[in-house]
Amino acid sequence: MVYLITGGAGFVGSHLAERLLERGDEVLLMDNLSTGSMENIRHLKKYDRMHYFLEPLENRQLLAELVDEADVIFHLAAAVGVKLIVESPVRTIETNVNGTQMVLEAACRKRKLVFTASTSEVYGKNINVPFHEDADLVLGPTTKGRWSYAASKALDEFLALSYWKEKKQPVVIARLFNTVGPRQTGRYGMVMPNFVGQALEGAPITVYGTGRQSRCFCDVRDSVEAILRLVATDKAVGEVTNVGTDHEVTIEGLAHMVKERTGSSSPIQFIPYDEAYEPGFEDMFRRVPCLDKLERLTGFRPRTTLPEIVDRVASHLRGKRAATTHVTVGIASA
């Protein structure tokens, strides 16, 4: 099979590409490297079944050609990360909404199946956990930038579902809950790479707010498995499905676990939201998915435990640090 992945040089996209290539599929990868990087896919260049195009989705001619060649399209290109959203709201809204529109329009001409990645952010301030896919979305006011991400992703979902209802364009939508693992960057504020990076450097582990807010973290390998199973079943077409784990941890609890598992002596530092993001920032207090639908449709439930995930991220970052030190020493002694 031939798969097109938009955002294929990003964190989730590169893991998906790796998995498809390992199992023998052909991968066309489109990425403008805005948040993705060549470093994420360099190890995949050894496959002659991998073809990458460092172009934006606005290159509609290329997009149309790649859609023609592909059997299935994974649309993962998006602006993600709360820090990025707060700092660059225009980019977030335009990238997320316009990108999905362009992909759906191109795919619809050929009726190619489109997988669209959405996010648990769309549940917003809803406090009725676990979140069922048909729950109300409770977003904050438009004056608070954070909610533009949830609103743009919710619009993506509306658009995809409308293409299915009105034009019979097949779509599969997944709401990803805090996907983490090797290669995720902390540059856009994500907590797991931030905490592990800080612990390894001996720098303060920065807990925003009280630290009593909680999240459920899902290993990217499990998210990829769930995504692949969703696109493989007709039952998921025209459906929205949660993808994640329901094992909840507070952010302070995560900080302690990271400190302990990395053997770090870093202090844990609490930083008010106003300082970490922007004045008046609103966080989501809890975010737990109901996974019954995922299990019913795919027979799969993510199982990687949090300690395992922390260890995997730590070992990846240690490897990266060792490689950097090696290069620096090499240059210094050259």
Q: For the window 96-125, what string marks contact with ligand UDP as x by the rule CB under 6 A?
A: -------------------------x----
Q: Residues 234, 235, 241, CA angle at the centre, nearest 5°? A: 120
The residue among 95 and 194 lying less far from ligand UDP, judged by its C-beta, is: 194
The residue among 169 and 185 lying less far from ligand UDP, judged by its C-beta, is: 185
Q: Of these residues, 149, 163, 208, 277, which one is catalytic?
A: 149
* 149 in catalytic set: yes
Segment near ligand UDP (CB under 6 A), from 9-17, 203-211, 226-234, 237-245? 203-211
Instruction: Say how many residues touch ligand UDP, by CB under 6 A.
Output: 15
Helix (H, G, I), strand (E, B) or coil at 119: strand
DSSP class of residue 172 equals E
The residue among 4 and 251 lying less far from ligand UDP, judged by its C-beta, is: 251
The residue among 178 and 264 lying less far from ligand UDP, judged by its C-beta, is: 178
Tell me which of 88, 101, 210, 213 binds ligand UDP, using CB under 6 A.
Answer: 213
Q: For the window 248-287, what string marks contact with ligand UDP as x by the rule CB under 6 A?
A: ---x-------------------------------x----
Classify each residue of 15-50 as buried b or exposed e, where b means 16 or more C-beta atoms within 10 Å of its C-beta: bbbbbbbeeebbbbbbbbebbbbeebbeebeebeeb
List the structure tokens of 49.
């079944």
- Tell the burial category of 254 from Cβ atoms under 10 Å away from its Cβ (0-12, 13-18, 19+): buried
Give CA–CA dist 298/315, Å, rounded: 30
Q: Does residue 190 interact with ligand UDP by CB under 6 A?
A: yes
Classify each residue of 183-196 as buried b or exposed e, where b means 16 or more C-beta atoms within 10 Å of its C-beta: bbbbebbbbbbbbb
| Catalytic annotation, residues | 149
Q: Which residues sit at the interface with ligand UDP, rule CB under 6 A? A: 82, 121, 178, 189-191, 194, 206-209, 213, 215, 251, 283
